[in-house]
Amino acid sequence: MTNKKNIKVFIEGAISSSFIGESILKHSTKKNIGAHSIFLGQVRNDIINQQEVKAIEYSAYNEMAEEKFHEIREDAFKKYDLICMHIYHSMGVVNAGEI
């Protein structure tokens, strides 16, 4: 429930497994955290109009999107007994199979 505006949400390209691991590792000193809940979206190589999806290109109006992510985060802290929350989302091209 911090008032951290300007928290960087967007990661250019795919979010690597090392980034995810490092994010969790940073919390190993916080002994009051009992669990980590992670949602990971992965680009599927669906067939659309007889063509295989090779990648998705994500774009956003960064300032507005980061403001909304911040609102969602703060609402969650008000509603639930949370210690920490991070939101990350890819920006740009993410290939099929990547997170």
Rounded to an integer, the average pLDDT of 55-75 is 94
Q: Tell whether the model's pLDDT for residue 32 goes beyond 80.
A: yes
Q: Which residue in 36, 12, 34 sits closest to 22, CA to CA?
A: 36
Q: Identify the pLDDT of residue 13.
A: 98
Domain contains 40: yes
Q: Identify the pLDDT of residue 6.
A: 61
Domain contains 4: no
What's the pTM?
0.81
Q: In this structure, what token pair is assigned to residue 15? A: 């979010």
Domain count, the chain: 1
Domain contains 2: no
Domain contains 38: yes
Note down the domain range covering 64.
Answer: 10-95
Q: Identify the pLDDT of residue 18.
A: 96
Domain contains 76: yes
DSSP for 7-54 reads ---EEESPPPHHHHHHHHHTTTT-TT--------------EETTEE--
- Range picked from 21-25, 31-35, 36-40, 52-56 for highest mean pLDDT: 52-56
Domain contains 64: yes
Domain contains 1: no
